[in-house]
Structure 1
C-alpha cells in the first residue's frame, strides 16, 4: 500500500453517499459544522457562489470541485445576496419554495464518514475548504472520474451499488492527489504535502507503510532515504511533525485499530501483523494510545 491509499483506508468509515442534484434559482443553503464528515461538491453545469464565514464569496463554474475535509460551516447560493436556508452537513439539497423552470445549476454532491478516533495528520493539513477550479488540459483523471460518476448517478444501471461507491473512493483519491500536487514548494516549512514531495522522506514513509510489522530502525529508514541517520531524522521530524520511530508506532496502532474494526482476526494475529511480538505488549501499547484495551475497543466498534 502507498501512503495516500493507506490514509484513505484509515480515515474513511462506512459507505460514502452521493447524489446528482438540480438546483433552481432562487436558492440558498447553509450547511452547519459536522465533525467526522467530509463533503464534496462538483459543478456539472451552471454557476453559483460559495459563501464562507468572514471571507469573500467565491464564484463557481462548471468543472469546479469543492472538498470540505473537516465538515466546516459554509453556504451555497445562486447569488451572494440570496437568503440561506439551514441544512445539516452535508445536507439534502432542496429547491427554494418559489423555484420553477429549468435548473440553474447541476451538481454532484456527497459525503464521506470519517473515523472519529484516529484521523491521519495529512487530513489535518488540509484547509477547511479545498477549491479545485476547472482548468483546461489539467486534472484530466479527476475530470474523467467526475464524468463517470455524473453519468452513473443520472441514470443508475445494473451494478450501480458496486460502481458508485468505487467511483466515490476514486474521486476522493484524485481530489487529495490533485491538492497535494498543486501545493507550492514548502522550503522545509513542514506539512504532508512537503513530506510526500520530498524523495527521502517519501521513501521512508513508503517503507513504513509497506511493512509496518518490520522492526525498523532509524538507520534502516535513513538508508532507504539515502541520507545519514542524523540528517534523515531531522528532515523527517521537520516535515512529518514527529520522529521516525514515533510515527512508526503511531501507524502500527492506527493500523491495528482498523483491523480490530474491520476484521475478526484474533488479537494475537493483529499484534503480529503490526509488529508486536506478544499479545501482552500489543495490548499495553494499544491501551496507552486509545485509553481502552483492544478487545473492548473491538466490542465498542
Structure 2
C-alpha cells in the first residue's frame, strides 16, 4: 500500500532492482510518511516480475522493453492525477527508468515527460556490473534482465547516451527532448556496482555510505541516503511552488520537542494524539504526522491481521 494521495503535491515513484520487490522501499516509505516537511509528497511503488529462473514453459521473464512499457502504463494510470513526479530507482530499476524515457522520446512523446521533475538513481549499473560475471554467464546465460547488467551492454549504453543528450542536457521541451535533472549516487562499500558505473557520465553524481543493498535502507531521518532524497524533494517543491518551507513543526524531524512514548508495537495509539510515535521492532522509533498515514503504514507492515 502506498501513502494517501495528494494530487496537488509531488508523487514519488519508487522502482526496485533485480530479483527484488516493492517491499525493498519500506524504510523510505515510513520515513517520508513521518516527515512533516514532506507533507506534500505522496509515495507510489512500481513493482514488476524479476524471478531468478523461469520454471514454467508458458511463462517468460520480461525484458527491459517490456518493463519500460509496464512503467509507462503505471504512470498513465496509477500516477495519472499527479502533475509532478519524481522517479527514484535502485540498481536495475534505474535502467528501466532510462529505457522508459528513451522509448517515450523515440515515439515523439517528449512533452508528456514534462511532469517528471527529477530522477534519483541509487547504485544504478549504468556501465554494467562485473561481479561474478563468469558464473552469471553460465547460470543466467539467457536471463533477459541479467543480460542488461553485463558491462557495457549495447542497448543500455544506447539508452544512456540518449538520456544524456536529449534529457539531462536538453534545453527545451519538445517531441524528442525534455530537460529532467538526474541525481545519481554510488555506495562507498558497493562492490556490485562500482563508482565508475554508478556515476557514469552524469553531471550530478556523488557517493553515499553503504553497500549495494544498504544504500536504500535508511535507519532514520538523519541517514545520508534519506537526507539526499529529502533535499531533492524539497528542492522540487521549492521550484514548483508546492509549499512554503518553514521551520519544522513540533514532532517533525529536526524538532527537539519531547513527546510521550506510546510504548506499543502491536496496536495503533488513539486518534486524538497530535503526534503518533511508533516503536517498530525493525525500523526503530518513527513519528507520524497524522493518524491516517500511520494506520496505512501500520497495516502495510503487518501491524493488523485482516
Structure with the largest fraction of helix: 1
**Normalised TM-score (structure 1):** 0.30
TM normalised by structure 2 equals 0.30
* Higher percent of residues as strand: 1
